[in-house]
Amino acid sequence: MRRRYAVTEQEIEAKVIEIVAEQMNTDKAKITRSTSFQEDLNADSLDTVELVMEFEDEFDTSIPDEAAEKIKTVGEAIEYIKQATGAE
């Protein structure tokens, strides 16, 4: 179910952390902008694809493969989504 609403950077950050925590079965309190998907959360390529799909669905945006490959941290995901959605 896609959601369409104006979002702020803080809302994006909260939702990205929520998605990452759920997908990676990790406590939200342990996830920060500097958290690395691979190094800190031991995400494999399938985990990464699933995270990108969740971000796309949640924020009603498309993340091309080339861009997805460059997103290594939670902060990078937040920044990409912020730009893609025009958030403030």
pTM for the predicted model, two decimal places: 0.90
Q: The tokens of 46 are what?
A: 């399938």
Say how many residues make up the chain.
88
Cα four-point dihedral sign 38, 25, 79, 5: positive
Q: Is 55 within 8 Å of 19 (Cβ atoms)? A: yes
Indicate which residues carry an active-site annotation.
Answer: 44
Q: What is the Cα gyration radius of the chain?
A: 12
Tokens 């803080």 identify what position? 10
For the stretch 37-82, pLDDT in tens is 999 999 999 999 999 999 999 999 999 999 999 999 999 999 999 9
d(CA 69, CA 21): 20
7 band by pLDDT with thresholds 50, 70 and 90: confident
On the question of pLDDT at 1 being above 50, the answer is: no
